[in-house]
Amino acid sequence: MFEHFPFKKIPFCIFTLMKLLYDFIVFLASLFLPIAAVFNKKIKLFVAGRKQTFSKISALKNKKTLWFHAASLGEFEQARPIIAVLKKKYPDYKILITFFSPSGYEIRKKYGLADVVCYLPLDSKSNAKKFVALVNPTLAVFIKYEFWPNLLDALKKKEIPSILVSGIFREEQIFFKCYGGFMRNSLKAFHHFFVQDENSKQLLTTIQFENISVVGDTRFDRVSAILEQDNSLDFIKEFKDNIYTVVAGSTWEEDEALFVHYINHIASEEEKFIIAPHNIKQDSIIQLQKALHNKAVLFSEKSNKNLKEYQVFIIDTIGVLTKIYSAADTAYVGGGLKTGLHNILEPSIFGVPIVIGNKYDKFKEALDLVTLKGVVSIENQEEFTTIFRTLKNDDLYRKSTGEINKNYIQNNVGATQSIIKWMQQKI
C-alpha cells in the first residue's frame, strides 16, 4: 500500500520534531526511572544494572569485538546459534551481549560464550556516542525488532557494519507511517536485513530498502540441534513411569487454572502432568500445589520421594524445561491466554502435539503451526477439556499431529548458515 506514498516529500520540520521528541522522552526516562525504581523491583534492576554498563565494556577497549543486542530472553535465543558458530570460527574475537530488559540480563548474565554481558544504556546521544566509541565493534548485530535511533546513528557515523537478524516487520509499525521519517532514517544504519518472511521484505522495499534476505528464524537451527544432546532426566523418567504424560511449560495463573480444573475433575489415573510455571516464586508454587486434589510433588522436594506415586510434578526451578519436553506425550505452552505466548519450537522438535491459548497473532511459528494443525488453540475450559481428552484417547491423531510440528522445524533450518556467510565478508 505504500508504493506511491511520497515519503521524500515529508517536511523536514516533521522529521526534526520527531527526533527532538524522541530525545526528550529519553531524557525524561533518565529522570523518572530512578524514582520509579524505588517502588518497582524490575525497574530497580533496570536502573542499577545500567550503572555498571560503561565500566563493564571498558574491558573491551582496543579489543576486536562482535556485539550482539537483544531486547530480552526470547530474542537472545535467536542470537545463540550465531554466537556459537562465531566463537568457534573467530576465537580471538571478544563477544559482547547487551540486553534491554532485566528478564534477559538476569538469566543470561553468566552466559559462557560471552566475554561481557551488560545492559544497553539508555539511548541518549551522549550514551550512544560513548558506548560505540568504547566498544568500537567489528560488527554489530541487532535481534528481531530492536531499533535505537541514536545508537544506530552512532554506528552509521563510524561506518561500523550492522545487521538485523531474524527481523519481523509489520504494517502498523512507525516505519511505514507518514510521520515515521525519523525512524525510517535510523534503518539506514543497517548494512543488511535478515528477515523471517516475505512480508517483511515487501514492507521494507516500499520504503526503498533492497539490502534484504529472507532466511527465516535462527531459532530453528538452535532447536534442531537439541536432538543431538542427551535430553534424558532420571527423575522425569521415574515420575513418568511409562504413563501418558502432559508437559505444561511456562504457565501463568490463567493457564494453571485450566489444568487444576482438568486434573481435579476429569483426568484419569492413566494421565500424569508436569507443570513448569513461568513464575516460580514460593507463594505462587504453594498456591498451585494446594489447589490440586491429587498428589503433587515439587522439584525442590523430590529427594527421597517415590516419584512414580505422584500424578503431578511441579517444576519450581529453571533450566530443565527443554529436556522435560522430550518426555511429553502432549505439550501445553503457556502465555497465550493473556501475557504473551512462550516458546513453542522447543516442544515441537520432539514431535509432540501442542496446545496454546488464543492470543498468538504476533508469533509467526504459532500462526503457521495452527494453520498446519500441529498446534491447537483454545480459549476456555470447555475447549481445553475437549482437546486434552482427544489427545489422550486418540493415539493416531496425537502422533500425526506431533509429526507436523517436528517436520515444520526440520523444513525451516538454515538461517544461521546464510547469516554467517555474510558476516565472514565483514570480519
> Tens-digit pLDDT profile for the chain (427 aa)?
444 444 555 566 677 788 889 999 999 999 999 999 999 999 999 999 999 999 999 999 999 999 999 999 889 999 999 999 999 999 999 999 999 999 899 989 999 999 999 999 999 999 999 999 999 999 999 999 889 999 999 999 999 999 999 999 999 999 998 888 889 999 999 999 999 999 999 999 999 999 999 999 999 999 999 999 999 999 999 999 999 999 999 999 999 999 999 999 999 999 999 999 999 999 999 999 999 998 999 999 999 999 999 999 999 998 899 999 999 999 999 999 998 999 999 999 999 999 999 999 989 999 999 999 999 999 999 999 999 999 999 999 999 999 999 999 999 999 999 999 999 999 9
Same topology, domains 7-217+414-423 and 229-410? Answer is yes
Output the nine-digit C-alpha cell for 6. Answer: 511520497
Out of 2.40.110.10, 3.30.1330.120, 3.40.50.150, 3.40.50.2000, which CATH number does the structure's domain 229-410 have? 3.40.50.2000
Output the nine-digit C-alpha cell for 148. Answer: 535505537
Its pTM surpasses 0.85: no
For the chain, give every domain's residue range: 7-217+414-423, 229-410
- Contact status, residue 60 vs residue 135, Cβ threshold 8 Å: yes
- Say which DSSP state 120 is in: P
Classify domain 7-217+414-423 at the CATH topology level.
Answer: Rossmann fold (3.40.50)
* DSSP collapsed to 3 states, 304-348: CCCHHHCCEEECCCCCCHHHHHCCCCEEEECCCCCCCCCCCHHHH
